[in-house]
Chains A and B, each alone.
Chain A
Amino acid sequence: MNIIEPLQIAIEELSKLPTIGRKTAQRLALYILKSDKDSVANLIKAVTDLKEKIKFCSVCFNLSVDDTCEVCKSPKRDKSIICVVEEASDVIAIESTNEYKGLYHVLGGVLSPLSGKGVESLKIAELVLRVNEPDVKEIVLALNPDTEGETTSLYLTRRLKPLNKRITRLPTGLPLGGDLEFTDHATVGRAILNRIEL
């Protein structure tokens, strides 16, 4: 099919984005083409700013505009608790609950023996340095409850235990609105083990 070159290039670039197939990319490119100049300029600015202005926090490796992120800078946050997460998107998920007031540490992934992703590729040494600070009293491991997340939690527990700080992890079990009958036995088993007193 003969598509004029600038449109063809735009479709190819857009289709490189995750979950965007060629047809969706074509639809987006045509939408941008039909939009007014200001909207397109705003979109370009937003994308450029994303790359130029956002960096990683030098303390917790969360996304940040400055050298230190808003969470680390805030005097209202509880500096005695560090919540360890896999990616910056997990910080957004926990922040949206409004239940957690401590600090974060973004590992930048999890240990993955099958992919060869090891300790050096994660921000584990930086975490150990932070946990060594006398102000820190508790570390919350908030990693996904899958094999790779569990591997990372076990490894971090092994590394952090000698520092004599309280180490906790998010409990696993039944989801809200879930149905016991249709839940797999591994999850039900975990829920029984992690039962709470009322």
Chain B
Amino acid sequence: MSEIIKTKAVVIKKLDYGDTSKIATFYTEDYGKITGIIKGARTAKSKMGPVVDILNTLQIVYYKKENREVQLISKAELINHHSKIKEDLDKLKFASAVAELLLHLNLEDEAHPKLFKGTVKILELMNESKEVPEYYFIKYLIFFLKELGYEIQLENCSCCGNNTEPGEGYFFNFNSGILCMNCKNDQLISFEFSPELFNLLMCLSRRNNECKYSVKDLNRLIYFFEKYISYHIPEFKGLKSLHVY
């Protein structure tokens, strides 16, 4: 049984196939991650070829067949190609890391419209904003982990339940979560948050909030999240995109 599907999608991977075709992985609004073939995409006359490029937001049409792993893409129209991301090496690095998270930590054919909208939004913010891309990438990591069910609770100590306070340093156990000074001796410490770093993480985890930051602290938080994901998802081997150049 096949049906014609029209949905919005972000291209998260592409590779050449055969003489003239491309196979791409899309993160779609209505059907989650799908893989599709674009026949003749590499020929000069192909209208879809130039459009199906990594990080582009598209409107695609394909014939969905349940038993087919690679769907046949019949139409692809460009919505946003994020030109400013593609002109900036640092923005490209972190936008690629967003695509990498979706590629490796998301199951095929599992729809998650909220995650899709968040992904589109973060790419737009990285494209338009003057903030460093690390800033939005951490915001995305927090959102992504929440949507996948790995949200980090920052409001209370995971051991005694006391509220966390701004201006205090905290500790973290990858299994249980945030630990206050009084409880840190009871559990293995996986990561230590200075007061500034904890404040920054709290600030970044809130919506519509402007945070003061240093790039060094942002990179420390990215390191923390990479370790956190590796702990909970053993097949995750870190974000290659962040270490390519």
Contact = CB atoms under 8 A, between A and B. Distances in A.
Interface of A: 18-19, 111-119, 145-148, 150-151, 154-155, 158, 175, 182-187, 189
B245 A116 contact: no
Interface in B52-87: 53-56, 77-78, 81, 83, 86-87
A113 B50 contact: no
Contacts of B232: none
A113 B97 contact: yes
B54 A117 contact: no
Nearest to A20: B18
Given A113-B97, A114-B12, A185-B78, A151 B89 contact: yes
Contact of A111 (B87, B103, B245): B245
B19 A114 contact: no
Given A175-B44, A186-B78, A147 B240 contact: no
14 contacts: A112-B244, A113-B93, A113-B96, A113-B100, A113-B240, A114-B13, A114-B54, A114-B100, A118-B243, A119-B245, A147-B54, A154-B87, A155-B89, A184-B51
Given A146-B53, A147-B86, A114 B44 contact: no
A26 B241 CA distance: 42
Contacts of B241: 113-114, 116
Interface of B: 12-14, 18-19, 44, 47, 50-51, 53-56, 77-78, 81, 83, 86-89, 92-93, 96-97, 99-100, 103, 240-241, 243-245
A79 to B, nearest CB: 29
Given A116-B240, A116-B244, A155-B245, A189 B50 contact: no
A186 B50 contact: yes
B66 to A, nearest CB: 24
Contacts of A112: 244
Contacts of A189: 83
A119 B99 CA distance: 20
Nearest to A148: B54
Given A113-B97, A118-B245, A119-B245, A19 B55 contact: no
Nearest to B86: A150
Residue among B12, B92, B99, B243 with most chain A CB within 10 A: B92
Nearest to B96: A113
